[in-house]
Copies of this chain bind each other. A is one copy, B any other.
Amino acid sequence: MQELNDKGKKAREVCIHLLRASSELKDKVLRTSAANLRKNYKIILKENESDVNAAVSGGIKGALIDRLTLTQERINSIAEGLEQIASLDDPVGEVVGMWKRPNGLIIGKKRVPIGVIGIIYEARPNVTADVFGLCIKTGNAAILRGGKEAFRSNNSIVRILRESLSFCGLPADSLQLVEDTSRDSALAMMKLNQYLDILIPRGGAGLIKTVVENSTVPVIETGVGNCHIFIDESADQSMSEKIIVNAKTQRPGVCNAAESLLIHSAVAEKLLPGICKALKSKNVEIRGDERVCKIVPYAVPATENDWYTEFLDLIMSVKIVNDVNDAINHINKYGSKHSESIVTENYSNSQKFLEEVDAAAVYVNASTRFTDGFMFGFGAEIGISTQKLHARGPMGLKELTTSKYVIYGSGQVR
Protein backbone atom coordinates (compact mmCIF):
# COMPACT_ATOMS: atom_id res chain seq x y z
CA MET A 1 0.00 0.00 0.00
CA GLN A 2 1.50 3.29 -1.18
CA GLU A 3 0.59 5.36 1.88
CA LEU A 4 2.20 2.92 4.28
CA ASN A 5 5.31 2.52 2.16
CA ASP A 6 5.73 6.28 2.00
CA LYS A 7 5.19 6.72 5.70
CA GLY A 8 7.50 3.79 6.48
CA LYS A 9 10.26 5.30 4.37
CA LYS A 10 9.89 8.70 6.05
CA ALA A 11 9.87 7.14 9.51
CA ARG A 12 13.09 5.29 8.74
CA GLU A 13 14.70 8.54 7.60
CA VAL A 14 13.94 10.42 10.81
CA CYS A 15 15.43 7.71 13.05
CA ILE A 16 18.93 9.18 12.95
CA HIS A 17 17.58 12.55 14.14
CA LEU A 18 15.72 10.94 17.02
CA LEU A 19 18.85 8.99 17.92
CA ARG A 20 20.92 12.18 17.96
CA ALA A 21 18.35 14.10 20.02
CA SER A 22 19.44 14.75 23.60
CA SER A 23 17.21 13.81 26.52
CA GLU A 24 16.74 17.54 27.11
CA LEU A 25 15.45 18.10 23.61
CA LYS A 26 13.08 15.12 23.74
CA ASP A 27 11.68 16.30 27.08
CA LYS A 28 11.23 19.79 25.63
CA VAL A 29 9.16 18.30 22.80
CA LEU A 30 6.93 16.52 25.34
CA ARG A 31 6.43 19.62 27.49
CA THR A 32 5.78 21.81 24.44
CA SER A 33 3.28 19.26 23.17
CA ALA A 34 1.48 19.24 26.51
CA ALA A 35 1.23 23.03 26.49
CA ASN A 36 -0.01 23.07 22.88
CA LEU A 37 -2.66 20.43 23.56
CA ARG A 38 -3.98 22.51 26.46
CA LYS A 39 -3.90 25.71 24.41
CA ASN A 40 -5.74 24.16 21.48
CA TYR A 41 -8.25 22.10 23.41
CA LYS A 42 -11.22 23.72 21.67
CA ILE A 43 -9.99 22.66 18.24
CA ILE A 44 -9.61 19.09 19.46
CA LEU A 45 -13.01 19.08 21.15
CA LYS A 46 -14.67 20.34 17.97
CA GLU A 47 -13.19 17.52 15.88
CA ASN A 48 -13.97 15.04 18.61
CA GLU A 49 -17.59 16.18 18.64
CA SER A 50 -17.86 15.37 14.93
CA ASP A 51 -16.40 11.92 15.58
CA VAL A 52 -18.78 11.26 18.47
CA ASN A 53 -21.82 12.47 16.52
CA ALA A 54 -20.93 10.27 13.56
CA ALA A 55 -20.39 7.30 15.85
CA VAL A 56 -23.72 7.81 17.61
CA SER A 57 -25.51 8.15 14.26
CA GLY A 58 -23.75 4.97 13.18
CA GLY A 59 -25.32 3.12 16.10
CA ILE A 60 -22.27 2.87 18.34
CA LYS A 61 -23.05 3.19 22.03
CA GLY A 62 -22.09 2.69 25.68
CA ALA A 63 -18.48 2.21 26.70
CA LEU A 64 -17.23 2.68 23.14
CA ILE A 65 -18.71 6.18 22.98
CA ASP A 66 -17.30 6.93 26.41
CA ARG A 67 -13.79 5.94 25.31
CA LEU A 68 -14.11 8.00 22.15
CA THR A 69 -15.31 11.11 23.94
CA LEU A 70 -12.87 13.84 24.98
CA THR A 71 -13.51 16.67 27.44
CA GLN A 72 -11.32 19.58 28.50
CA GLU A 73 -10.53 17.61 31.64
CA ARG A 74 -9.48 14.56 29.63
CA ILE A 75 -7.26 16.68 27.39
CA ASN A 76 -5.64 18.11 30.50
CA SER A 77 -4.97 14.65 31.77
CA ILE A 78 -3.46 13.65 28.39
CA ALA A 79 -1.17 16.69 28.64
CA GLU A 80 -0.22 15.75 32.20
CA GLY A 81 0.66 12.27 30.97
CA LEU A 82 3.19 13.77 28.55
CA GLU A 83 4.70 15.93 31.28
CA GLN A 84 4.98 12.90 33.51
CA ILE A 85 6.88 10.98 30.82
CA ALA A 86 9.16 13.99 30.36
CA SER A 87 10.06 13.81 34.05
CA LEU A 88 11.24 10.17 33.87
CA ASP A 89 14.83 9.05 33.23
CA ASP A 90 15.78 8.50 29.59
CA PRO A 91 16.72 4.82 29.18
CA VAL A 92 18.55 5.42 25.86
CA GLY A 93 22.32 5.30 26.18
CA GLU A 94 22.41 3.33 29.40
CA VAL A 95 25.23 0.78 29.31
CA VAL A 96 23.80 -2.26 31.03
CA GLY A 97 27.09 -4.14 31.11
CA MET A 98 30.70 -3.83 29.93
CA TRP A 99 33.46 -6.40 30.13
CA LYS A 100 36.97 -7.04 28.87
CA ARG A 101 37.85 -10.17 26.93
CA PRO A 102 41.19 -12.01 27.27
CA ASN A 103 42.28 -10.55 23.88
CA GLY A 104 41.78 -7.00 25.19
CA LEU A 105 38.49 -6.25 23.40
CA ILE A 106 36.19 -4.19 25.60
CA ILE A 107 32.55 -5.10 24.94
CA GLY A 108 29.68 -2.94 26.17
CA LYS A 109 25.94 -3.54 25.86
CA LYS A 110 24.04 -0.31 25.44
CA ARG A 111 20.34 0.59 25.28
CA VAL A 112 19.37 2.17 21.96
CA PRO A 113 16.03 3.08 20.35
CA ILE A 114 14.24 0.25 18.56
CA GLY A 115 13.67 2.35 15.44
CA VAL A 116 10.19 2.50 13.96
CA ILE A 117 7.22 1.35 16.06
CA GLY A 118 3.80 0.73 14.56
CA ILE A 119 0.70 0.90 16.73
CA ILE A 120 -2.72 -0.38 15.71
CA TYR A 121 -5.46 0.71 18.09
CA GLU A 122 -9.14 1.28 18.43
CA ALA A 123 -11.21 4.43 18.76
CA ARG A 124 -9.42 5.84 21.82
CA PRO A 125 -7.89 9.24 21.04
CA ASN A 126 -6.01 9.32 24.37
CA VAL A 127 -3.79 6.49 23.08
CA THR A 128 -2.54 8.80 20.32
CA ALA A 129 -0.75 11.22 22.63
CA ASP A 130 0.22 8.51 25.08
CA VAL A 131 2.07 6.45 22.47
CA PHE A 132 3.67 9.58 21.05
CA GLY A 133 5.09 10.42 24.48
CA LEU A 134 6.51 6.96 25.09
CA CYS A 135 8.02 6.69 21.58
CA ILE A 136 9.60 10.16 21.47
CA LYS A 137 11.06 9.73 24.95
CA THR A 138 12.75 6.52 23.81
CA GLY A 139 13.90 7.94 20.45
CA ASN A 140 11.56 5.86 18.32
CA ALA A 141 9.58 7.00 15.29
CA ALA A 142 5.90 6.07 15.50
CA ILE A 143 3.34 5.22 12.84
CA LEU A 144 -0.16 5.20 14.27
CA ARG A 145 -3.15 3.50 12.76
CA GLY A 146 -6.12 4.35 14.97
CA GLY A 147 -9.75 3.34 14.69
CA LYS A 148 -11.70 5.10 11.96
CA GLU A 149 -14.34 6.41 14.43
CA ALA A 150 -11.65 8.54 16.10
CA PHE A 151 -9.91 9.74 12.95
CA ARG A 152 -10.79 13.43 13.20
CA SER A 153 -9.84 13.56 16.87
CA ASN A 154 -6.59 11.71 16.22
CA ASN A 155 -5.80 13.89 13.25
CA SER A 156 -6.21 17.10 15.23
CA ILE A 157 -4.08 15.76 18.09
CA VAL A 158 -1.40 14.51 15.71
CA ARG A 159 -1.31 17.87 13.92
CA ILE A 160 -0.59 19.62 17.22
CA LEU A 161 2.06 17.06 18.20
CA ARG A 162 3.78 17.30 14.80
CA GLU A 163 3.86 21.10 15.05
CA SER A 164 5.41 20.77 18.49
CA LEU A 165 8.11 18.46 17.08
CA SER A 166 8.93 20.93 14.29
CA PHE A 167 8.90 23.87 16.68
CA CYS A 168 11.52 22.16 18.83
CA GLY A 169 13.67 21.24 15.84
CA LEU A 170 12.82 17.56 15.42
CA PRO A 171 11.26 16.16 12.21
CA ALA A 172 7.46 16.21 12.20
CA ASP A 173 7.56 12.75 10.59
CA SER A 174 8.71 11.32 13.91
CA LEU A 175 4.96 10.88 14.38
CA GLN A 176 2.71 9.89 11.49
CA LEU A 177 -0.97 9.00 11.44
CA VAL A 178 -2.22 6.58 8.78
CA GLU A 179 -5.05 8.29 6.89
CA ASP A 180 -6.49 5.17 5.34
CA THR A 181 -8.47 3.62 8.19
CA SER A 182 -9.75 0.66 6.17
CA ARG A 183 -9.05 -2.92 7.15
CA ASP A 184 -6.58 -3.00 4.26
CA SER A 185 -4.30 -0.45 5.87
CA ALA A 186 -4.17 -2.49 9.08
CA LEU A 187 -3.30 -5.62 7.11
CA ALA A 188 -0.67 -3.75 5.07
CA MET A 189 0.89 -2.53 8.30
CA MET A 190 1.15 -6.13 9.54
CA LYS A 191 3.33 -6.94 6.52
CA LEU A 192 5.46 -3.78 6.54
CA ASN A 193 8.60 -5.65 7.65
CA GLN A 194 10.78 -3.44 5.48
CA TYR A 195 10.10 -0.38 7.62
CA LEU A 196 8.55 -1.43 10.92
CA ASP A 197 10.73 -2.90 13.65
CA ILE A 198 7.81 -3.84 15.86
CA LEU A 199 4.04 -3.65 15.87
CA ILE A 200 2.01 -3.22 19.04
CA PRO A 201 -1.75 -3.75 18.96
CA ARG A 202 -3.61 -1.91 21.69
CA GLY A 203 -7.22 -2.83 22.22
CA GLY A 204 -9.58 -5.72 22.76
CA ALA A 205 -8.96 -9.44 22.39
CA GLY A 206 -10.30 -9.48 18.81
CA LEU A 207 -7.88 -6.84 17.57
CA ILE A 208 -4.94 -8.51 19.27
CA LYS A 209 -5.84 -11.91 17.85
CA THR A 210 -6.12 -10.50 14.32
CA VAL A 211 -2.71 -8.86 14.59
CA VAL A 212 -0.99 -11.93 16.08
CA GLU A 213 -2.48 -14.18 13.40
CA ASN A 214 -1.65 -11.95 10.44
CA SER A 215 1.46 -9.99 11.25
CA THR A 216 4.89 -10.92 9.94
CA VAL A 217 6.30 -7.83 11.63
CA PRO A 218 7.41 -8.80 15.16
CA VAL A 219 4.45 -8.21 17.48
CA ILE A 220 4.24 -7.41 21.15
CA GLU A 221 1.12 -9.18 22.33
CA THR A 222 -0.60 -7.39 25.16
CA GLY A 223 -3.61 -7.70 27.24
CA VAL A 224 -5.79 -10.72 27.80
CA GLY A 225 -5.92 -11.56 31.50
CA ASN A 226 -7.80 -14.57 32.86
CA CYS A 227 -6.37 -14.09 36.36
CA HIS A 228 -6.89 -16.37 39.37
CA ILE A 229 -6.76 -16.06 43.15
CA PHE A 230 -6.03 -19.28 45.01
CA ILE A 231 -7.07 -19.44 48.67
CA ASP A 232 -4.85 -22.01 50.32
CA GLU A 233 -5.74 -24.05 53.43
CA SER A 234 -3.70 -21.76 55.68
CA ALA A 235 -4.96 -18.46 54.22
CA ASP A 236 -5.94 -15.67 56.57
CA GLN A 237 -9.72 -15.30 56.35
CA SER A 238 -10.03 -11.55 56.32
CA MET A 239 -7.04 -11.07 53.98
CA SER A 240 -8.61 -13.57 51.58
CA GLU A 241 -11.89 -11.68 51.44
CA LYS A 242 -10.19 -8.31 51.05
CA ILE A 243 -7.95 -9.51 48.20
CA ILE A 244 -10.70 -11.32 46.31
CA VAL A 245 -13.16 -8.47 46.53
CA ASN A 246 -10.49 -5.99 45.44
CA ALA A 247 -9.15 -8.10 42.58
CA LYS A 248 -12.64 -8.83 41.25
CA THR A 249 -14.54 -5.59 41.80
CA GLN A 250 -12.23 -2.60 42.12
CA ARG A 251 -12.18 -2.26 38.31
CA PRO A 252 -13.66 -5.36 36.69
CA GLY A 253 -13.11 -4.28 33.07
CA VAL A 254 -9.30 -4.36 33.11
CA CYS A 255 -6.90 -7.15 32.28
CA ASN A 256 -5.40 -7.56 35.76
CA ALA A 257 -8.80 -7.99 37.46
CA ALA A 258 -9.40 -11.51 38.80
CA GLU A 259 -11.81 -13.75 36.90
CA SER A 260 -11.56 -16.98 38.82
CA LEU A 261 -11.35 -18.06 42.44
CA LEU A 262 -9.78 -21.37 43.48
CA ILE A 263 -10.15 -22.49 47.07
CA HIS A 264 -8.59 -25.36 49.04
CA SER A 265 -11.20 -28.05 49.81
CA ALA A 266 -10.27 -28.10 53.51
CA VAL A 267 -11.42 -24.50 54.02
CA ALA A 268 -14.10 -24.18 51.35
CA GLU A 269 -17.04 -24.78 53.64
CA LYS A 270 -15.70 -22.39 56.24
CA LEU A 271 -14.60 -19.53 53.95
CA LEU A 272 -16.75 -19.65 50.84
CA PRO A 273 -20.03 -18.42 52.38
CA GLY A 274 -18.41 -15.23 53.67
CA ILE A 275 -16.37 -14.58 50.52
CA CYS A 276 -19.31 -15.16 48.21
CA LYS A 277 -21.55 -12.99 50.36
CA ALA A 278 -19.02 -10.16 50.10
CA LEU A 279 -18.88 -10.64 46.31
CA LYS A 280 -22.66 -10.80 46.05
CA SER A 281 -22.98 -7.54 47.96
CA LYS A 282 -20.91 -6.03 45.10
CA ASN A 283 -23.28 -7.61 42.55
CA VAL A 284 -20.86 -10.31 41.44
CA GLU A 285 -22.44 -13.37 39.84
CA ILE A 286 -20.88 -16.63 41.10
CA ARG A 287 -20.36 -19.49 38.64
CA GLY A 288 -19.31 -22.49 40.66
CA ASP A 289 -18.33 -26.10 40.15
CA GLU A 290 -20.56 -28.81 41.63
CA ARG A 291 -19.10 -28.64 45.13
CA VAL A 292 -19.28 -24.83 45.19
CA CYS A 293 -22.94 -24.90 44.15
CA LYS A 294 -23.69 -27.11 47.13
CA ILE A 295 -22.12 -24.64 49.55
CA VAL A 296 -23.32 -21.44 47.91
CA PRO A 297 -27.02 -21.60 47.14
CA TYR A 298 -27.07 -18.62 44.74
CA ALA A 299 -24.14 -19.89 42.65
CA VAL A 300 -24.94 -20.99 39.09
CA PRO A 301 -23.12 -23.98 37.57
CA ALA A 302 -19.97 -23.06 35.69
CA THR A 303 -19.45 -24.44 32.17
CA GLU A 304 -16.10 -25.73 30.93
CA ASN A 305 -15.85 -22.59 28.85
CA ASP A 306 -16.23 -20.37 31.92
CA TRP A 307 -12.84 -21.54 33.23
CA TYR A 308 -11.20 -20.14 30.09
CA THR A 309 -13.12 -16.88 30.10
CA GLU A 310 -11.90 -13.36 30.81
CA PHE A 311 -15.30 -11.96 31.82
CA LEU A 312 -14.20 -8.32 32.22
CA ASP A 313 -17.43 -8.04 34.15
CA LEU A 314 -18.97 -8.69 37.58
CA ILE A 315 -18.84 -12.46 37.13
CA MET A 316 -16.47 -14.84 38.91
CA SER A 317 -15.90 -18.53 38.33
CA VAL A 318 -15.24 -20.46 41.56
CA LYS A 319 -13.73 -23.92 41.93
CA ILE A 320 -12.74 -26.09 44.87
CA VAL A 321 -9.31 -27.71 44.48
CA ASN A 322 -7.62 -30.36 46.58
CA ASP A 323 -4.28 -28.65 47.12
CA VAL A 324 -1.72 -26.22 45.74
CA ASN A 325 -0.74 -28.66 42.97
CA ASP A 326 -4.31 -28.84 41.79
CA ALA A 327 -4.50 -25.07 41.81
CA ILE A 328 -1.28 -24.72 39.80
CA ASN A 329 -2.41 -27.30 37.24
CA HIS A 330 -5.75 -25.54 36.82
CA ILE A 331 -4.10 -22.14 36.37
CA ASN A 332 -1.50 -23.41 33.91
CA LYS A 333 -4.24 -25.08 31.89
CA TYR A 334 -6.93 -22.39 31.83
CA GLY A 335 -5.05 -19.17 32.60
CA SER A 336 -3.77 -16.64 30.09
CA LYS A 337 -0.35 -16.30 31.79
CA HIS A 338 -1.02 -12.75 32.96
CA SER A 339 -1.33 -12.37 36.77
CA GLU A 340 -1.96 -15.04 39.39
CA SER A 341 -2.09 -14.85 43.18
CA ILE A 342 -1.99 -17.25 46.12
CA VAL A 343 -3.24 -16.33 49.60
CA THR A 344 -1.42 -18.49 52.10
CA GLU A 345 0.56 -18.58 55.31
CA ASN A 346 2.38 -21.75 54.22
CA TYR A 347 5.97 -21.05 53.21
CA SER A 348 6.49 -24.10 50.97
CA ASN A 349 3.23 -23.57 49.12
CA SER A 350 4.01 -19.91 48.50
CA GLN A 351 7.40 -20.86 47.02
CA LYS A 352 5.89 -23.63 44.93
CA PHE A 353 3.22 -21.33 43.55
CA LEU A 354 5.75 -18.59 42.68
CA GLU A 355 7.97 -21.15 40.98
CA GLU A 356 5.52 -23.28 39.06
CA VAL A 357 2.74 -20.98 37.94
CA ASP A 358 3.55 -19.89 34.38
CA ALA A 359 2.56 -16.22 34.22
CA ALA A 360 4.01 -12.76 33.72
CA ALA A 361 3.34 -11.82 37.35
CA VAL A 362 2.84 -14.22 40.26
CA TYR A 363 1.79 -12.87 43.68
CA VAL A 364 1.72 -14.07 47.25
CA ASN A 365 -0.85 -12.36 49.48
CA ALA A 366 -1.69 -9.45 47.21
CA SER A 367 -4.31 -8.44 44.68
CA THR A 368 -3.61 -9.13 41.00
CA ARG A 369 -4.58 -5.52 40.30
CA PHE A 370 -0.97 -4.39 40.83
CA THR A 371 0.27 -5.69 37.46
CA ASP A 372 0.70 -2.30 35.87
CA GLY A 373 3.68 -0.13 34.89
CA PHE A 374 2.76 2.59 37.36
CA MET A 375 2.16 0.20 40.27
CA PHE A 376 5.48 -1.53 39.49
CA GLY A 377 7.24 1.83 39.68
CA PHE A 378 8.10 2.20 35.99
CA GLY A 379 6.37 5.59 35.80
CA ALA A 380 4.77 4.82 32.44
CA GLU A 381 3.45 1.87 30.50
CA ILE A 382 2.80 0.99 26.87
CA GLY A 383 0.95 -2.21 27.76
CA ILE A 384 1.24 -5.49 29.58
CA SER A 385 2.96 -8.15 27.52
CA THR A 386 1.56 -11.65 27.78
CA GLN A 387 4.11 -13.13 25.41
CA LYS A 388 7.51 -14.36 26.37
CA LEU A 389 9.73 -12.70 23.81
CA HIS A 390 11.40 -9.33 24.46
CA ALA A 391 9.25 -8.23 27.38
CA ARG A 392 6.84 -9.99 29.70
CA GLY A 393 4.50 -8.15 32.04
CA PRO A 394 4.20 -4.37 32.32
CA MET A 395 6.26 -2.63 29.63
CA GLY A 396 7.80 0.69 30.59
CA LEU A 397 10.31 2.88 28.76
CA LYS A 398 13.15 0.35 28.95
CA GLU A 399 11.04 -2.17 27.08
CA LEU A 400 10.80 0.30 24.17
CA THR A 401 14.54 0.07 23.64
CA THR A 402 16.78 -2.60 22.14
CA SER A 403 20.50 -3.09 22.63
CA LYS A 404 23.65 -2.59 20.62
CA TYR A 405 27.06 -4.01 21.41
CA VAL A 406 29.78 -1.35 21.25
CA ILE A 407 33.26 -2.84 21.04
CA TYR A 408 36.51 -0.98 21.69
CA GLY A 409 39.51 -2.64 20.07
CA SER A 410 43.17 -1.95 19.45
CA GLY A 411 43.70 -3.87 16.24
CA GLN A 412 42.36 -7.31 17.26
CA VAL A 413 41.88 -9.96 14.56
CA ARG A 414 41.00 -13.66 14.73
Interface of A toward B, CB cutoff 8 Å: 15-16, 19-20, 99, 101, 105, 107, 114-115, 193, 197-198, 212-216, 218-220, 236, 239, 242-243, 246-247, 250, 332, 354-356, 358-367, 369-371, 375-377, 387-390, 392-393, 402-414
A369 → chain B closest CB, angstroms = 5
Copies in the complex: 2
Do B212 and A214 touch across chains, with their CB atoms under 8 A apart?
A: no
Contact B402 A365 (CB under 8 A): no
Known contacts A218-B218, A247-B413; can you find 17 more A-B pairs with CB under 8 A? Answer: A101-B376, A114-B389, A197-B389, A218-B219, A218-B388, A218-B389, A220-B389, A362-B406, A364-B407, A364-B408, A366-B410, A367-B414, A371-B405, A389-B390, A392-B403, A392-B404, A393-B405
A405: which B residues are within 8 A, CB to CB?
A: 360-362, 371, 376, 392-393
Residues B409 and A403 in contact, CB atoms below 8 Å apart? no
List residues of chain B with CB within 8 A of the CB of A387.
197, 218
> How far, in whole Å, are A52 and B20 apart by their CA atoms in the complex?
54
On whether A409 and B366 interact (CB within 8 A), knowing A197-B389, A216-B214, A389-B198, the answer reads yes
Is the pair A212, B193 in contact by a Cβ cutoff of 8 Å? Answer: yes
Question: Measured between alpha carbons, how far is A107 from B378 in the docked complex, in Å?
Answer: 12
Contacts A19-B355, A101-B375, A414-B246; is A407 near B366 (CB within 8 Å)? Answer: yes
Q: Are A377 and B407 in contact (CB under 8 A)?
A: no
Main DSSP-derived SS at the A contact region: mixed
Quick one: which of B101, B332, B414 contacts A16, CB cutoff 8 A?
B332
- Shortest 9 CB-CB distances between A and B: which pairs? A366-B409, A246-B413, A388-B402, A390-B390, A365-B409, A361-B405, A366-B412, A389-B390, A239-B411
Shortest CB distance A209–B (Å) = 10
Chain B nearest CB, measured from A234 CB (Å): 14
- Residues of chain B contacted by A390 (CB below 8 angstroms): 389-390
Which residues from B are CB-within-8-Å of A366? 105, 407, 409-413
Residues in B with CB closer than 8 Å to A406 are: 354, 362
A13 smallest CB distance to B (angstroms): 10
Complex CA–CA separation, A298 to B405 (angstroms): 36
Check B412 against A370 for contact (C-beta < 8 Å): yes
Query: Are A369 and B213 neighbours in the complex by a CB distance under 8 Å?
Result: no
CB-based contact B370/A105 at 8 Å: yes
Q: Which of B15, B16, B388, B409 contacts A363 (CB 8 A)?
A: B409
A316 CA / B303 CA spacing, docked (Å): 66
Q: A101-B375, A216-B214, A361-B407 are in contact. Are A392 and B402 (CB under 8 A)?
A: yes
| Cα separation A365 to B409 with both chains bound (whole Å) | 5
Contact (A197, B412) CB under 8 Å given A405-B376, A407-B363, A407-B364: no
Chain B residues near A114 (CB-CB < 8 A): 388-389
A414 touches B218 (CB 8 A): no
Residues of B within 8 A of A361 (CB): 404-405, 407
Q: Which residue of B lies closest to A236 (CB)?
A: B411
Picked from B15, B212, B359, B412, the residue with its CB within 8 Å of the CB of A367 is B412
Determine the chain B residues whose CB is within 8 A of the CB of A358 once the complex forms: 15, 115, 404
Complex contacts, A410 vs chain B, CB 8 Å: 365-366
Q: Please, how many angstroms separate the alpha-carbon atoms of A356 and B402 in the complex?
A: 14
Q: Which residues of B contact A213 (CB under 8 A)?
A: 193, 216
Once the chains are docked, how many angstroms separate the CA of A268 from the CA of B412?
Answer: 22
Q: Which of A197, A359, A377 has the most CB of B within 10 A?
A: A377
| B369 engages A250 (CB within 8 Å) | no
A237 vs B309: C-alpha distance when bound (angstroms): 68
Q: List 5 A-B contacts (CB under 8 A).
A: A19-B355, A362-B406, A365-B411, A367-B414, A389-B390
